[in-house]
Structure 1
Amino acid sequence: MAYPTVLYGPDSEVFNTYSKVSPAPSAAIAGGPIKFRHRHALGKQLVLEDGRKFRFAASGSGTLVVGNVLSAGVATASQQSLAPQTAVVVGDRSLIITTGAASAINVFAEGYLIPTITTANVTGHCYRIAGHALMTSGTDTVHLAPGNAALEALSTGTSKIDLIDNPYFRVVQLPATTAASMIVGVAVSGPTTLLACWIQTRGVAAVLGITATIAGTRAVAPSSTAGAVGPETASAGTSDIESDIGRSMHAHAATQGQPTFLTLDG
């Protein structure tokens, strides 16, 4: 079966924002479909005629600012290194785990369940989550998406599991100095909390800049101002925590929209 993971559309589509699905999807069930909460699947790609690329995302806390560099939301630390409540056998599609905190219905839908320690101490599998009921910081069940099933056994004594949000869920402005998660794109609209939108990942873009750019060089972030891009730092200690988001197209003054060719998507 093929899924339309890439859309092709007009320039005007990238400025649209969308409310959450109403009524909200019910809790997932064993063997059921993914509980999508928005108009499109998070991470779906939109390609324009000139090759610019965008990803479908949902805003996090606060309103996004056009031109700002965005990062994925901060991972929920209390939902990492969780122990299976019941041993998992190969082929299981619903995993009963001991959760670390209360979480809303389907908050991890479209996200991922990753075993970090297995019975054979072999890791590397990543399972897509269909959804779950309200988590109560105790014994909870997470249902895997169609096409996903446990590929290794997990024990209650040694195995550990992380629940990871979809990186395009609850995207936020990139912090000023140290990123709390991966950079996912640049805002082209200003949706409020949990509204869905398109964020740009490739091609010519106007990105907030705080330092005069150098034509043809790498554009990096963080850059000492939240949501902004700047030229690569010569100091190795600083450049080690900078992420390359594209190339500066020509020299431009600071604190303006910097013409940048984004390369976050291939």
Structure 2
Amino acid sequence: MSAGGTGRSGLAIIGGGKIGEALLSGLVRRSGADGIVVCERHPERAAELTARYGVPVLGLAEAAARARVLLLAVKPQDIGTLLALLAGSVDTGHLVVSVAAGVPTATIEAALPAGVPVVRVMPNTPALVDEGMSVLSAGAHADEGHLDEAETLLAAVGRVRRVPETQQDAVTALSGSGPAYFFYLVEAMVDAGILLGLPRDLAVDLIVQTALGSAVMLRDSGEHPVQLREAVTSPGGTTIAAVRELERHGVRAALIAAIEAAHDRSVELGRAARDR
């Protein structure tokens, strides 16, 4: 395929897992299925995505021939195999956008023809409800125009920020894995409500709405989290008793340690992808 081949437009989402589907669903809701194709190696999953979103499922070579933007939405351990299969079908007229956690742009660039622009993205699963957080970094051959294009793509499913690539492992640990931390906390709070005698559905409703309202307050008030917490914490009251227990059990330190562990794992995944 020659560089800058003609007739290509639109987007190919390569990988139909949770993140691939999250982005696909948001894009289809926002602007329809026109111009979007999917590559998915499992036939049953491919049929499911076609039925659900009305998008065609193509092979890698055909998808690359048709689409200009190639969104790599596979697991880090599968990126090497994918790039080896894709390399012969990609040229500098493409834009490759990778959401493979921990995999540096340099690793992707080294496996593709020289000069192919690559943008690394860390999204998260709230993209399924158009409330995702996606963070972009440019590779060696990606310019501002490529970043703008990737940002427009990801803005369909939530907010977008740009960072130097050196910060991407920290982003992965904080917002990429972040939804799981919140779900874990909500699960514990719901269990506490049940322990205290509330029906499960009521406990879930109370906690979910409280989480939603608290997030909106954080986003819109402009106040520091400490200020917002202190506004709920009356002297000698119920909240300070609860906060004391959280501190006594080391919840703050445990959360920081957990996020550090996620960061370290992201670095390991990138190193493993590079060494394959």
What TM-score, normalized by structure 2, do the two folds share? 0.23
Hey, which of these two has a bigger chunk of helix by percent? 2
More strand by share: 1
**TM-score by structure 1 length?**
0.24
